[in-house]
Structure 1
């Protein structure tokens, strides 16, 4: 209160307002949380060292396969779990309530908590419904923590990864993903046809 007496109440209020006005806005907060997601995803590098798409029975919620293996979707699911976001549970709940909104590629009649969140088209659907779909062509629009999905050209198989907080020498954002050799950080953003770009 000494400052209030010295400078007067009006000056003190102006000081408080100027601090509030210069505080980070929600866009900056979004970038910060994106950086954290990228950093959390990179914690899998050197831990998840193989790729195994075998169907497994999982715990629910927060079920997972062994940490040393997994598929591309597990990179995304595990990174979000470090932020207390469980895509296994969220997708299960959303699919139960909106089953027809999700792809019927596998001919399922109901949800399957063991595999639904580990399928790229289901993640794409969930992020479209509950996240922010973004441009797939604007190179500058890919920010750390964004989710990107592709279709591999020879097989049309879906793939998914997380935009890193690091750039390649040519300025292209690196991608944290598992395409067969465990979780890696690589310059593959524009290597395959991009199907989706999301911020969640």
Structure 2
């Protein structure tokens, strides 16, 4: 067999591996788009987080049991009803409580929801209002029930109620609002009957109703702040973790009331 003549050219080399890819043109980073996203996120955080700022400030303030005792001693002996009511509300802030909005069959008059097995108080924001007034000898359970019994159609029909119920009527914020309105205890900032957050419009012992971010109504009692913050409007309320003494939250106020008891005749309206 004839020999193949030697070639001076290299033979074909087989390449094993991935097929080379053509390089794609690189895009320049869009720094403007990143800033827009950050600005939108910051705006959303500010919008939804703003109402929580006062609560954070409250926790940083000195709202201790000791500072509550000092303020209670200053207010409890006052001739002013509102200051004594503020002292009663502050006293409630020292009582361990379990949040409970359940329906209970309770005594009448002077009825209250039962305590827990370990003897802790139960209740919600409305119970704090009722107990604070009761500490001063004013039983809202009786007053609300008597007025609803006489003027049932004047009260909200939000719970399919067909008749007055002394077990629960005074434990509903809308009923308390209506009772205070009928008792001519509503406080307005001006002749146009508006409710504002102006500090000069509030006094210790005022009952305030505001709307939470969830859309639910909530209530508390206005009290002074602790120590050097004495001139600020704080509030005692129960939002689920027991009565708390905190800076007034930055929510929309739905009602402002200054009720001093049965001596204020109930208006027929």
Runs of 4+ in 1 over 2 A off after TM superposition: 165-172
Corresponding position: 1:56 with 2:104: yes
Q: C-alpha separation between the residues in 1 aligned to 2:230 and 2:121?
A: 31
Aligned positions of 1:29-68 closer than 5 A: 32-65=80-113, 66=115, 68=121
Q: C-alpha separation between the residues in 2 aligned to 1:171 and 1:144?
A: 10
Give the deviation of 1:170 after TM superposition.
9.6
Q: C-alpha separation between the residues in 2 aligned to 1:31 and 1:95?
A: 31
- Aligned residues of 2:89 and 2:132 also touching (Cα < 8 A): yes
Corresponding position: 1:119 with 2:178: no
Name the structure 1 match of 2:223: 164
Corresponding position: 1:186 with 2:234: no
| Structure of higher CA gyration radius | 2
Cα offsets for 1:42-100 (capped at 9, x unmatched): 11123143211111111001100126221000111001101111000100000010011
Name the structure 2 match of 1:69: 122
Of 147, 150, 175, the match for 2:207: 147
Q: C-alpha separation between the residues in 1 aligned to 2:157 and 2:171?
A: 15
- Aligned residues of 1:48 and 1:70 also touching (Cα < 8 A): no
Name the structure 1 match of 2:147: 94
Q: C-alpha separation between the residues in 2 aligned to 1:91 and 1:35?
A: 23
Structure 1 runs not aligned, ≥5 long? 1-29
Q: C-alpha separation between the residues in 2 aligned to 1:32 and 1:134?
A: 17
Give the deviation of 1:171 after TM superposition.
4.9
Q: C-alpha separation between the residues in 2 aligned to 1:166 and 1:113?
A: 35
Query: How much is the aligned-residue C-alpha RMSD, in angstroms?
Result: 1.9
Of 107, 110, 120, the match for 2:160: 107
TM-score calculated relative to the size of structure 1: 0.79
- Aligned residues of 2:207 and 2:258 also touching (Cα < 8 A): yes
Name the structure 1 match of 2:63: none
